[in-house]
Amino acid sequence: MIRNLSINRIYHSLRILGIETSCDDTAAAVVDSQRTILSQACRNQLKYHQPWGGIVPSIAKNHHYENLVPVVAEVMKDIEWNTIDAIATSVKPGLVISLWQGINFTRQLLQKYTHLSFIPIHHMEAHALTVRLTHDVPFPYMVLLASGGHCILGIVEDVDKFYRLGETKDIAPGEAFDKSAREMKLHEHPLVQDMAGGAAMGYLAREGDEKRYQLITSSYSAKMKDCSFSFGGMLSQIRRVIGKESIYYGSSSTDEQKLKDFAACIQASIVRHIETRVHRAILFCDTIQKSQWKQRLVLAGGVASNLYLRQRINDLCSHYGIELVCPPVEFCTDNGVMIAWNGIERYRRNLNVFERMPEIVVPEGRSPLGSDISEQVCAYDLSVPFDWKTILGKKHVLL
Ligand code: KG4
Ligand code: ZN
């Protein structure tokens, strides 16, 4: 039954428990409507999956099962259950077997604490809205959602109103980072072995020379005048170079500097591709006279914690007088706070708030966020200056 909110309920300070199990992090948090994070906890499973070279669903499921009780106990340690209004839980998109764990555990909690409402959460919507907890960002705004499983460029018009300008046609940038890091055996490198692939790459790239290797922009991304992404061709090329030049940790022909240079090259290629799409999105907003869409650009999702990406996009935004807003790094990667906050945003508007958990709540592995307006972008055939920094005066190649 959908909750019928009384006026009192809307105006008193809300407290929501958020539960996140969409991939390999078991996370929970309690957040209130004054934007206070009352508690948070997260157990990462990285080390259990690393030997297998990727997330193993059955391992993820077992760890979520073991971790949910202690993680929720930790966040509720100093909080009375009767001061909580609702539980918000990720139900899509993600690893279905993992999402089930969060949903089943939420059901048990709701059976015990019957005063609580239930709010199903779209994991990518939560990434897109987190910035409104940490910064004063009114609607609408442009957002880049870049993570291990997604890459979406869109407009957030409201809590439940999202337009997709473009998304990845194959793999996400996080996956390209993770698979490249794996090929380079960075999980054996003592300096970065405890980091996620993208974070390891970013760390090594800080002291690397991105010009030492040349990765050719794929013909797809050069030809398509849209805001969609493609990292599959780039990953194949990265793999070829790694194989040919033996660029991996432990290789007799690869010293530390070579690793750093190649990491910088991979990072620059991924970031340049994203930058072109963001640039086209800015031009698109101008073309259709939706300047309010591009007053602010938000970077979200795990890959948005990449400092080089932030720097490049910040330069682009400064050029166009756009404010770039990034949630703190700890809220870019998966966490419970973003789920709880999404719960607050939905509860306040009474959007899909259930007084009792429906009998059937089924997780969804895939679930597009909002409406697709990418064809409108294509229709304008907008060219982006290849090196936009030379826009003024000099010649430039159009992509
Ligand atoms: O949002 P997230 O925590 O989980 C998903 O929903 O996928 O994103 C995880 C992804 C991983 O692919 C990880 O390698 C990448 O974010 N990542 C980074 C950085 N930190 C995490 N990628 C680039 N630079 C980073 N600093
Ligand atoms: Zn995520």
Q: Residues 225, 116: one domain? A: no
Instruction: Please give the structure tokens belonging to residue 204.
Output: 């090594």
Please say whether the beta carbons of 334 and 29 come within 8 A.
no
Instruction: Please give the structure tokens belonging to residue 86.
Output: 């609702």
User: Does residue 352 have a pLDDT over 90?
Assistant: yes
Q: Residue 389 and residue 176: Cα distance in Å, rounded?
A: 26
Q: SS3 letters for 212-270?
A: CCCCCCCHHHHHCCCCCECCHHHHHHHHHHHHHHCCCCCCCCCCHHHHHHHHHHHHHHH
Q: Residue 137 and residue 139: Cα distance in Å, rounded?
A: 7
Q: How far is the CA of 9 from the centre of ligand 2 (A)?
A: 30
Write the CB contacts of 80 (distance below 8 Å, at least 6 apart in sequence): none
Please say whether the beta carbons of 370 and 163 come within 8 A.
yes
In a domain, 54, yes or no: yes
Q: Residue 262 and residue 184: Cα distance in Å, rounded?
A: 9
DSSP state of 79: S
Q: What is the side-by-side strand order in the sheet with 15-20?
A: 37-44, 25-32, 15-20, 86-92, 117-122
Q: Residues 258, 387: one domain? A: yes
Task: Convert the pLDDT of each residue in 80-121 to its tens digit.
Answer: 999 999 999 999 999 999 999 999 999 999 999 999 999 999
DSSP state of 24: S
In a domain, 396, yes or no: no
Instruction: Please give the structure tokens belonging to residue 29.
Output: 């948090």
The per-residue pLDDT for 189 is 97
User: Does residue 10 have a pLDDT over 60?
Assistant: no
Q: Residues 160, 280: one domain? A: yes
Q: Residue 55 and residue 13: Cα distance in Å, rounded?
A: 38
Instruction: Please give the structure tokens belonging to residue 376.
Output: 């409108």
Give the domain extent around 173.
144-326+372-391
In a domain, 180, yes or no: yes
User: Does residue 394 have a pLDDT over 50?
Assistant: no
Q: Residues 290, 387: one domain? A: yes
Phi first, then psi, for residue 179 (nearest 5°) are: -70, -35
Task: Convert the pLDDT of each residue in 197-232 to its tens digit.
Answer: 999 999 999 999 999 988 876 555 666 789 999 999
Q: How far is the CA of 289 from the centre of ligand 2 (A)?
A: 31
Which helix (H) or strand (E) is 279 found in, with range? helix 256-287
Q: Residues 301, 346: one domain? A: no
In the three-class reduction of DSSP (H, G, I as helix; E, B as strand; rest coil), residue 310 is classed as helix
| Chain mean pLDDT for the chain | 92
In a domain, 2, yes or no: no
* Position in ligand 1 atom list of the atom nearest CA 178: 14
Q: Residues 384, 361: one domain? A: no
**Is the pLDDT higher at 388 or at 268?**
268
Q: DSSP string covering 347-372, please?
A: HHHTSS-BSS--S-----S----SEE
User: What mean pLDDT do residues 38-65 have?
Assistant: 90
pLDDT band at 61 (very low <50, low <70, confident <90, very high): very high
Number of structural domains found in the chain: 2
Which ligand lies nearest to the CA atom of residue 149 in the structure? 1
Helix ranges (H only) for 12-95 are: 46-49, 57-75
Q: How far is CA 105 from CA 19, 65, 67, in A?
A: 9, 8, 11
Q: Residue 296 and residue 156: Cα distance in Å, rounded?
A: 11
Q: How far is the CA of 127 from the centre of ligand 2 (A)?
A: 7
Task: Convert the pLDDT of each residue in 274-330 to its tens digit.
Answer: 999 999 999 999 999 999 999 999 999 999 999 999 999 999 999 999 999 999 999
Q: How far is the CA of 163 from the centre of ligand 2 (A)?
A: 19
Pick from 339, 294, 301: nearest CA to 317: 294
Q: Residues 361, 376: one domain? A: no
* Position in ligand 1 atom list of the atom nearest CA 147: 8
Q: Residues 196, 288: one domain? A: yes
87: domain CATH number is 3.30.420.40
Q: Residue 348 and residue 341: Cα distance in Å, rounded?
A: 11
* Position in ligand 1 atom list of the atom nearest CA 203: 26
In a domain, 1, yes or no: no
DSSP state of 114: T
The per-residue pLDDT for 37 is 98
Ligand 2 being an ion, which residues bring their Cβ within 5 A of it? 147, 334
Share of the chain above pLDDT 70, in %: 91
**Residues with a CB atom less than 6 Å from ligand 1:** 23, 147-149, 174, 177-178, 196-199, 202, 301-303, 305-306, 333-334
Q: How far is the CA of 254 from the centre of ligand 2 (A)?
A: 33
pLDDT band at 396 (very low <50, low <70, confident <90, very high): very low
Task: State the residue for tokens 């007088």.
Answer: 321
Query: Is the sign of the CA dihedral 90, 300, 46, 364 positive or negative?
Result: positive
pLDDT band at 392 (very low <50, low <70, confident <90, very high): very low
In a domain, 38, yes or no: yes
Q: Residues 122, 210: one domain? A: no
The per-residue pLDDT for 266 is 97
Q: Residue 362 and residue 186: Cα distance in Å, rounded?
A: 37
User: Does residue 273 have a pLDDT over 90?
Assistant: yes
Share of the chain above pLDDT 90, in %: 86
User: Does residue 263 have a pLDDT over 60?
Assistant: yes
In a domain, 225, yes or no: yes
Using CA positions, which residue lies closest to atom 8 of ligand 1?
A: 302
Q: Residues 278, 351: one domain? A: no
Instruction: Please give the structure tokens belonging to residue 338.
Output: 């973003």
Pick from 378, 379, 399: nearest CA to 388: 399
Q: Residues 167, 282: one domain? A: yes
Q: Residues 186, 313: one domain? A: yes
In a domain, 397, yes or no: no
